[in-house]
Structure 1
Amino acid sequence: MLIHPWDAGLDEAEWQTWLADGHDFGQLSVNGVPGQSPVVVPTHFCSDGNQLLIHLARPNPAVKAIEHDPNVTLTVIGDYAFIPGPWRAERGTPPADGVPTSYYTTVQFTCHARIVDDPEGKAELLRRQLAHFQPDGDYALVAVGRPPYGRMLSGIRGLRLEVTDVKAKFKYDDDEPVELRTAVADRLDTRGQGLDVPAARQQRRRLDRIGTWKP
């Protein structure tokens, strides 16, 4: 992933805070077995220290690919918006001469995957996931040999992804003049389509921290 200096995360807390704000769904990319394309799996995940926790249905082809090569990438993308060219035209130039772009936030985890197949290991993984996604505790106990989850454990395979590297990118025109960035954020709020409002929020947040970009 290309990350320009002005797109880079300002510190670890920036991407950690963004993830904690409900960004816990990503795409797991697994190197394919020889002669096959990589396998990409959309999935929820949660963290456990330096590990990311995922579970997959037993027939999922990603598991076979991980058995061949445990080096994987988990990518999370959000707060994205298309920015029309006229919004970015330089002052004094025709609006049609402006060049469009995309705004987005992404965090990519490079990981070493370990498959969890023992029943108690899978039950513990599910307990941690449920504690994250249903913090109110409105779910049955996950225990080996106890319904409803006990009989389902054989149908899944757990994954513990040990994070070895993290790359974060916040692409919001931070190298452009303050006036342009402010105007684009206003236009995103006015358009209000898709993730326009969250994208504008990210742009203003970065603008407040960076101000005028200084290489």
Structure 2
Amino acid sequence: MFIHPWDAGLDEAEWRSWLAEGHDFGILSVNGPPGRAPLAVPTHFTVDGGHLLIHFARPNPVWEAIEQDPNVTFTVFGDYAFVPGPWRAPAGTPPTDGVPTSYYTAVQFTCRAHIIDDPEAKAALLRRQLAHFQPDGDHAPVVAGRPPYGRLLPGIRGLRLDVTDVRAKFKYDDHKPVEHRTAVTEHLTARGQGLDLSTARRQRRRLDRIGPWKP
């Protein structure tokens, strides 16, 4: 993932708080077996300190690939919108001279994967995930050997991704003048389609922190 200086995360807290806002679904990318294409698997995940926790069904073809090469990438993205050319035309030029772009946030983790097959360890992983996704505790106890989860555990495998590197990209034209960014935020808010409103909020937060871009 290429990152211009003006698209880089401002600090670790920025991408961590972005994830905590509810961005807990991403794409696991794994090198495929020799002679086959890489695998990309969409999934929910849970952050657990310096690890990401995932589980998949046992028949998933991702396991063979991970067993051959445990070095993987996990990508989370959101707050994205297409920005049409007229919104980006430089001052004093025809609107049609503007060049369109995409705005988005992406956080990419480089990881080493560890497969979890022990029933007790898988149960602990599921408890950690449920604590995140169902914090009210409105579910049966997750205990190996006890229904309903006990009978389901053999059908899944757990995955702990040990994070070795994090790259965060916030692509919102932060190198453009304040007036330009403010105008695009207003356009996004007025259009209000898809993720326009969350994209506008993200651009506004970056603008408030960065102000005029200083190389």
Same fold (TM > 0.5): yes
Question: SS where residue 63 of structure 2 aligns?
Answer: helix
Question: SS where residue 19 of structure 1 aligns?
Answer: helix
Matches within 5 A, 1:65-214: 65-214=65-214
- 2 CA distance for matches of 1:167 and 1:118? 32
Question: SS where residue 162 of structure 2 aligns?
Answer: strand
Structure 1 stretches of 4+ moved >4 Å: none
How many Å apart are 1:96 and its aligned residue? 0.4
Deviations 1:74-107 (A, max 9, x none): 1000000000000000111110000000000000
How many Å apart are 1:131 and its aligned residue? 0.5
Give the partner amino acid of 1:209: R
How many Å apart are 1:19 and its aligned residue? 0.3
- 1 CA distance for matches of 2:164 and 2:18? 19
- 2 CA distance for matches of 1:30 and 1:120? 26
Give the partner amino acid of 2:128: R
List gaps (5 residues or longer) in structure 1. none
Give the partner amino acid of 2:160: R
Match of 2:29 in 1: 29
- 1 CA distance for matches of 2:36 and 2:183? 46
Match of 2:54 in 1: 54
- 1 CA distance for matches of 2:15 and 2:33? 32
- 2 CA distance for matches of 1:47 and 1:20? 9
How many Å apart are 1:48 and its aligned residue? 1.4
Deviations 1:110-155 (A, max 9, x none): 0000000011110000000001100000000000110000000000
Match of 2:14 in 1: 14
Deviations 1:171-204 (A, max 9, x none): 0000001111000000000000000000000000
- 2 CA distance for matches of 1:28 and 1:104? 19
Give the partner amino acid of 2:180: L
How many Å apart are 1:49 and its aligned residue? 1.3
Report the TM-score, using the length of structure 2 for normalisation.
Answer: 0.99
Give the partner amino acid of 2:148: P
Question: SS where residue 141 of structure 1 aligns?
Answer: coil
Question: SS where residue 128 of structure 2 aligns?
Answer: helix
- 2 CA distance for matches of 1:91 and 1:129? 49
Count of residues paired in the alignment: 215
- 1 CA distance for matches of 2:134 and 2:32? 33
- 1 CA distance for matches of 2:209 and 2:107? 19
- 2 CA distance for matches of 1:77 and 1:159? 21
How many Å apart are 1:10 and its aligned residue? 0.3
List gaps (5 residues or longer) in structure 2. none
Match of 2:42 in 1: 42
How many Å apart are 1:47 and its aligned residue? 1.4
